[in-house]
Structure 1
């Protein structure tokens, strides 16, 4: 069995156990294979192993991979996105996980209209408050969501956060729990544009805790596909 296939089987087993502990259906959890640290061939192997969702975070490295393999899978841009890179992402990446400011929403909407394809967006929230991380402050989310919902070529799919790096994943459970609470706050507004059904949270070290707290997308790199370019989670 290919190493990625074996890794995927183990990850699915762990997700299934986390779902049993929290009373969830494993089919509601999607795995995004984070391929930003590996080459095109390894990304191809991930798709061959049955992975559908592919995550990249640097436009200059992601676009060549998309050109080689874009007819396969569903592509996610998961890194910080500069407004001047929106052109490179629109029409190629179905999902953007890092919408966190009005200027980016405006430019991404414009570029999405230009290619005639809406972009599905996760609003990134800096729940932990770490200065090293991008994202909206929790108290900014509602107003920003209302503004972003006005752009006709953006679809607000959910919320995303990055938890602090810790050895004990239990330490970051409150971060995931707060993102779930923020999702529920938006849903209580009753605006169908703000239904935000998805939560993108959890990485290789803490994804099972994220699943227990409601993650519908987990972003997994080293635990699935390894890391060739540099160290990563």
Structure 2
């Protein structure tokens, strides 16, 4: 893994610098270390360097890591969520970033009540209307405002978005996500304090536009090797 502690410190420094440039307090933005595909040993190394929040995208991959790693880690689920995995995800992950439809949100609310849990959830928005991505459209999200306000067993924290793969336009899409969040806040009456935006290549632009959680993997752990 090389100098992981040094990379972690550098990332936090860049986040703090972006906060200062945006006129925000340092510490307003959480760093979520995306540990998917990396072994438990890598997570442990980051933990020993002070990191406490980690993101995983597959429940079956995360389960053995959660079992052996320190219990004060806060695990975030960031992958596509199928209903047949929802109960296990609700049981293991206090934060879920990938709730891409009202139907899924309703199901999670029911499952959370049955499991005695109250996960924080981010609503995934397809901010640019890309055919290759899932998530709420802006129109669907605003039309769901009343239903979202009625949930009892999930806490709707805010929105999550992944902009188109265009570094020059990323900041515009982050701003659009923030503006959509603010509209939904007014129409639903929910607090919606969170914005899960920004990854290794664009997290500073996301911070400048209001992100509260940046999801960083390769810039911390290195590049991933995915199974064939």
TM class by shorter chain equals over 0.9
Answer whether contact 2:160 2:196 (CA < 8 A) is retained: yes
Q: Give the unaligned 5+ runs of structure 1.
A: none
- Counterparts of 1:103-118 in structure 2 under 5 Å? 103-118=103-118
> Is contact 1:37–1:227 with CA below 8 Å preserved after alignment?
no
Question: Residue 213 of structure 1 aligns with which residue?
Answer: 209
Show the counterpart of 2:48: 48
Secondary structure of residue in 2 paired with 1:203? coil
- Structure 2 residue matching 1:90: 3-state secondary structure: helix
The answer to whether the aligner puts 1:85 opposite 2:124 as a matched pair is no
In 2, Cα distance between equivalents of 1:216 and 1:120: 14
What is residue 178 of structure 1 aligned with on the other side?
176
State the 4+ residue runs in structure 1 displaced beyond 3 angstroms.
Answer: none
Name the Cα RMSD after superposition: 1.8
Most deviating of 10-19 and 216-225:
10-19
Report the Cα distance in structure 2 between the residues aligned to 1:5 and 1:145, rounded to whole angstroms.
42
Write the distance in 2 (CA, Å) between the matches of 1:226 and 1:211: 22
Residue 188 (structure 1) shift: 2.3
For residues 162 and 174 of structure 1, the distance between their equivalents in structure 2, rounded to whole angstroms, comes to 12
In the TM superposition, residue 170 of structure 1 has moved relative to its aligned partner by: 3.0
3-state SS, counterpart of residue 150 of structure 1: coil
Q: Residues 80-229 of structure 1: matches in 2 within 5 Å?
A: 80-166=80-166, 169-189=167-187, 191=189, 194-229=190-225
Does structure 2 conserve the Cα–Cα contact (< 8 Å) formed by 1:31 and 1:53?
yes
What TM-score do you get using the length of structure 2 for normalisation? 0.93
Q: What CA distance in whole angstroms lies between the structure 2 residues aligned with 1:11 and 1:116?
A: 36
Q: Could you list the per-position Cα deviations for residues 180-220 of structure 1 after superposition, in whole angstroms to 9, with x for gaps in the alignment? A: 101111222371xx210010000000000000000000000
**TM-score normalised by L of structure 1:** 0.91
Equivalent-residue separation in structure 1 for 2:145 and 2:61 (angstroms)? 29
| Shift of residue 227, structure 1, vs aligned partner | 3.5
Greater alpha carbon shift after TM alignment, 180-189 vs 75-84: 180-189
Secondary structure at the counterpart of residue 72 of structure 2: coil
- Could you say what secondary structure the match of 1:98 adopts? strand
Query: CA offset at residue 55 of structure 1?
Result: 0.4
- How far, CA to CA, are the matches of 1:221 and 1:47 in structure 2? 14
